[in-house]
């Protein structure tokens, strides 16, 4: 009975983290699944969401781990997933110097149209970085292909930056070009504060 319950539970378990882990291995990224319950699972994980676990990046990239967060669906709304690519940094960024930049995908027709351009919205501390994103074809292509991106500085228990993608990775695979573009964003964030 217990063995059948475990098989049933495994059958219905959300495998988003496992799928991204395998995707990263397939494009040559040295990574590992972190044990459950690590502190990094708390990154952007409010009480009404849950972490599906962390993938630790062992390669020499500024992105050091990825936290996958899920919010279960309800009667009138589908489930949602967020992928947080974390860029820890030793320097502490004061909240009044925080950055926040979001891509806004402009479509040829609302909801179902093809993405034709990207506009970057920013807070007052992020204007210069937003202009760099606007002028970088690789970063714009990343948002066009994978979905809206949010880049922000981290405070309190985590210092550094995060790159957020919402649910798009469940439908698509990361390519090595996507991975390099994500790391280009992370380097730009770090260099912006040097």
Q: Dig out the tokens for 129 from the structure.
A: 């970085």
> How confident is the model at residue 58, as a pLDDT?
95
Separation between Cα atoms, residue 51 and residue 183, nearest integer Å: 23
The distance between the two most distant Cα atoms of the chain, rounded to a whole number of Å, is: 60
- What pTM, to 2 d.p., does this model score? 0.88
Could you give the 3-state DSSP secondary structure of residue 194?
A: coil
Neighbours of 56 (CB within 10 A): 16
Residues 6+ apart with CB under 8 A from 178: 142, 145, 146
pLDDT(193) > 90: no
For the chain, give the mean pLDDT.
Answer: 86
Q: Specify the pLDDT at position 29.
A: 96
Looking at the structure of the chain, the number of domains it has is 1
Nearest to 85 by CA among 14, 146, 156: 146
Range of the domain at 174: 2-192
- pLDDT for 7: 64
């Amino acid at each position: 009975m217990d063995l059948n319950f475990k098989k049933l539970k495994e059958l219905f378990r959300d495998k988003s983290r496992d799928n991204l882990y395998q995707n990263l291995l397939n494009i040559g990224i040295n990574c590992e699944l972190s044990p459950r319950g690590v502190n990094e699972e708390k990154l952007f994980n409010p009480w009404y969401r849950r972490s599906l676990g962390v993938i630790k990046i062992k390669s020499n990239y500024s992105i050091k781990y990825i936290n996958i967060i899920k919010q279960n669906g309800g009667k009138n709304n589908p489930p949602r997933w967020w992928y947080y690519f974390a860029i820890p940094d030793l320097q502490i960024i004061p909240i009044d110097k925080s950055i926040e930049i979001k891509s806004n995908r402009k479509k040829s027709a609302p909801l179902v149209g093809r993405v034709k351009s990207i506009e970057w919205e920013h807070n007052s501390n992020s204007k210069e970085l937003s202009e760099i994103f606007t002028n970088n074809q690789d970063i714009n292509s990343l948002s066009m292909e994978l979905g809206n991106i949010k880049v922000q500085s981290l405070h309190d228990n985590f210092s550094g930056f995060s790159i957020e993608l919402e649910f798009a990775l469940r439908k698509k695979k990361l390519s090595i070009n996507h991975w390099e573009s994500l790391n280009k964003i992370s380097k730009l964030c770090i260099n912006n504060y040097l």
